[in-house]
Amino acid sequence: MIVHAIKTRIFNEGEDLFRFICRYIKNIPENSVIVVTSKIVALSERRTAVIENAKTKENLIRSESQRAVRTKYVWLTVKDGMVMASAGIDESNANGKLILLPKDSYAAAKKLRRQVQKKYHLKHLGVLITDSRTMPFRAGVGGVALGYAGFRGIRDYRGTPDIFGRKLKLSRTDVADSLATAAVLVMGEGEERQPIAVVRNAPVEFRNTINRRELHIDIDDDMYSQLFRKTK
């Protein structure tokens, strides 16, 4: 698998995302995955805010979350079935504004895939919209998939044998988040200005339709649920 991050100029709020991508990607081979950071997707949707004080920022975080609890450093929130800091609202590389997450990353990925397929005459193409996330008890951030289209997001090993013939009961690979982590590592977090990438030879199953809930685990069934039961 080869991840090629692409350096661009600064993306402007309200700019057309498809045209921006086409400006920097001139050739896309079959069986590729285009990776786009959620920040420029949100900017294209004008998902920004100017916050005057801490209280209005708190109100915005709460309105963007299904669950929220204040911690020492940030608001710990649940949004779109994922745990994240401050509902994904980000101040970095935002030029004085707050940038929210895209309205619907799955819908945005689906639309972009359709546009790129038509322009470049592609049959097998994936689109992945990424963000960065922290992990409990780990320093630094890794990548996470907010939405995707064109490939299956999970690989299921349940019911298949391991190398010694033992039937696997729980094993599944989170393909979408694994791919996002690889891409975010190459794209960078600071001043690299590499908001898009092309992944070639990715070990994914390309398909026209996806189940956008295939990665979701209900909070009552999640092994970490005891950590969140006291949140409101």
- Rounded CA-CA distance 220/232 in Å is 15
pLDDT at 75 over 60: yes
Topology of domain 1-38+103-212, CATH: 60s Ribosomal Protein L30; Chain: A; (3.30.1330)
- Rounded CA-CA distance 38/179 in Å is 15
pLDDT of residue 229: 63
pLDDT of residue 230: 56
What predicted TM-score, i.e. pTM, was given to this entire model? 0.91
On whether the CB atoms of residues 103 and 92 are closer than 8 A, the answer is no
Amino acid (one-letter) located at 77: T
Residue indicated by tokens 């295939």: 214
* Per-residue pLDDT tens over the stretch 13-34: 999 999 999 999 989 999 999 9
Amino acid (one-letter) located at 36: V
* Per-residue pLDDT tens over the stretch 117-166: 999 999 999 999 999 988 888 898 999 999 999 999 998 888 889 888 88
In the chain, where the domains are located = 1-38+103-212, 48-100
Ranges assigned E (strand) in 136-207:
138-149, 154-156, 172-174, 196-200
pLDDT at 224 over 80: no
* Per-residue pLDDT tens over the stretch 77-108: 888 888 898 899 987 777 778 999 999 999 99
24 Cβ contact list (under 8 Å, min separation 6): 6, 8, 196
Beta bridge partners of 35: 128, 197
- Counting residues of the chain whose pLDDT is more than 90, the rounded percentage is 60
- Rounded CA-CA distance 103/203 in Å is 28
The DSSP secondary-structure symbol of 12 reads P
